[in-house]
Structure 1
């Protein structure tokens, strides 16, 4: 009886380890994808700001475009 219980706990622990080994890279990939999207969005915003400033508009301290 004890041997079976020990075996069951060992198998359960192995599945938990496997689940963690699979979940961590997936979470890392999700974080990297999110950072890539934010990086892309910030580059687009900077490009738009450069276009606005180079076309003769100015940006007031309040953030309004004049």
Structure 2
């Protein structure tokens, strides 16, 4: 959901989920890294701190750093 009440792009949740899925399980996902990979930007992102879910993932996505 968007705290600024902007219409988020349909691919933004996909980019967020991909970042969480490919982040190491011991790391906290950095919100700045998530926002720079979304189309809507900072106004379309709200939420809480989350840890990554990836233990080992291949192939590596070109969109996730």
The TM-score, its normalising length taken from structure 2, stands at: 0.28
Name the structure, 1 or 2, with higher relative contact order (CA <8 Å, separation 6+): 2
Which structure shows the higher helix fraction? 1
The TM-score, its normalising length taken from structure 1, stands at: 0.27
- Whichever of the two has the greater Rg, that structure is 1
